Chains A and B, each alone.
Chain A
Amino acid sequence: MDYKYIEQLLESYFSCTTTLQEEQILRSFFSQEDVPGHLVQYADLFNYEAEAKEATLGEDFDERLMARIEATESKDQQVEKARVIKMATPHFAPFFKAAAVVAMALTVGRAAEHAIGEQEAEENSNIVAVDPYIKTGDVQQAIRVKDVSQAEMKATNDSIISISTDDEIQ
């Protein structure tokens, strides 16, 4: 039987020009029972490569690790705890979250509407304040009264400021 292909692959392997697939072919070839005598010395190498991948950690390791993860989690805040619960029910999490997002969007929307509504109401209130004069139709008078009242307000403010500055001087 001709083993030229395998011999070539071996040479390529030792010069690091084999692909991952070709290396797998070598492992498969050497895993068979009757490897030819002149290649048998390499059987151990490729069999070891295959069997070394079977070393794994058992479930006892998982338990110890999860205990440690939970211990570090419980040290964290309430928010972090919520995350642990989320992890336990991964299938429902998106639905709860979607509901929360919709609720949040609605709340924000309502709040925004409310704020805009209040602003408009405030704008209207200036007119409401001078209502009696508007009723009589004397808009000029209404404006004058508003100006007067603003002037009075300014005067009062100024006096307060002057009093406070007097206090500071004393």
Chain B
Amino acid sequence: MWASRQRLVGIASALLYIIHCQLYINQVDFRHDILPLKNIIFRTALRIILNREEAEDIVQDTLVKLWERREELDEVENLEAFALTMARNLAIDRKEKMDNQHVSFDDEAHDRPDDEQGDADRRLVQRETTGFIADIINSLPEKQRTLVQLRDIEGKTYQEIATVLSISESDVKVSLFRARKEMREKILQKKSLFL
């Protein structure tokens, strides 16, 4: 009787220890698991919103949200993809709000063509550098420039990108194809201008 009870206690404590170990392994650590995502989130958010301060805010919001939801993150297969999806949604929302606010500014700008001319001049100066490529990518539709960011700059697989954007892999390829085609055309246009 005594011996069997001892054995029972032994088995119970061993089980408890195993369960505890599982819990510890799955526990999310902020500095180790979440903070290292900041740079890829920043670059991706910046590509969508095209404003450095706003992009930094989005990174903060995304990482804080991830930390607040850390209990649920066990079920997330790819934390980076999950974080990028969150950041992208935040960035798209903010971009829309910003664009709505800027409509009024744009109207005012029409009365001052000098400024627009100044912008165009600056763009001309940048043409010699890679800034020209940034302009091409940033003028693409949001989905396409996010794809270029994730594939050509971050070096992600089609599967990972499909997960982030919640679309199929073939959809990723079709949109990326359009984006690269557009980039090529603009590059060749520039070349013909200089010849």
Query: B153 interface residue, CB < 8 Å from A?
Result: yes
A116 contacts across to B, CB distance below 8 A: 5
Residue total for A at the interface (Cβ-Cβ under 8 A): 43
Q: Is the beta-carbon distance between B35 and A48 smaller than 8 angstroms?
A: no
| Distance of A11 Cα from B142 Cα, bound (Å) | 25
Q: Please tell me if A168 contacts chain B, counting CB pairs below 8 Å.
A: no
- Counting contact residues on chain B (CB < 8 A from A), the size range is 35 or more
State A61–B38 Cα separation when bound (angstroms): 9
Say yes or no: is A98 at the interface (Cβ < 8 Å to chain B). yes
Whether B180 and A65, one on each chain, are in contact in the complex, defined by CB atoms closer than 8 angstroms, is no
Shortest B72–chain A CB gap in Å is: 15
Q: When the two chains form their complex, are residues A48 and B157 in contact, meaning their CB atoms are under 8 A apart? A: no
Interface residue from B20, B59, B63 paired with A97 (Cβ < 8 Å): B20
Contact of A101 among B16, B39, B42 (CB under 8 A): B16
Q: Does A16 reach chain B (CB closer than 8 Å)?
A: yes
Per-residue contact bits, chain A 97-109, to B (CB 8 Å; 1 contact, 0 not): 1100110111011
Beta-carbon contact of A53 and B30 below 8 Å: no
**A135 sits at the interface (CB 8 A):** no
Q: DSSP majority for the B interface?
A: helix
Residues of B within 8 A of A24 (CB): 155
Contact of A29 with B by CB under 8 A: no
A15-B177, A45-B187, A113-B5 known; A56 vs B39 contact (CB < 8 Å): yes
B85 CB within 8 Å of chain A = no
- Indicate whether B154 reaches chain A with its CB closer than 8 angstroms: yes
Bound Cα distance A47, B177 (Å) = 20
Neighbouring A residues of B46 by C-beta, 8 Å:
55
Q: How far is the CB of B64 from chain A (nearest CB, A)?
A: 6
Interface readout for B27-51 with A: 1 if CB under 8 Å, 0 if not? 0011110010011001100100000
Residue A169 is within 8 A (CB to CB) of chain B in the complex = no
Over the window 120-155 of chain B, the binary record of Cβ atoms lying under 8 Å from chain A Cβ atoms (1 yes, 0 no) is 000000000110111001000000000001011111
Contact B187 A87 (CB under 8 A): no
Contact across chains for A102 and B31 when beta carbons are under 8 A apart = no
- Leading 10 A-B pairs by shortest Cβ distance: A105-B13, A109-B9, A48-B130, A48-B133, A41-B191, A56-B39, A49-B152, A16-B177, A52-B153, A101-B20
A residues whose Cβ falls under 8 Å from a Cβ of B: 13-16, 20, 23-24, 41-42, 44-45, 47-49, 51-53, 55-57, 61-62, 64-65, 68-69, 72, 87, 90, 93-94, 97-98, 101-102, 104-106, 108-109, 112-113, 116
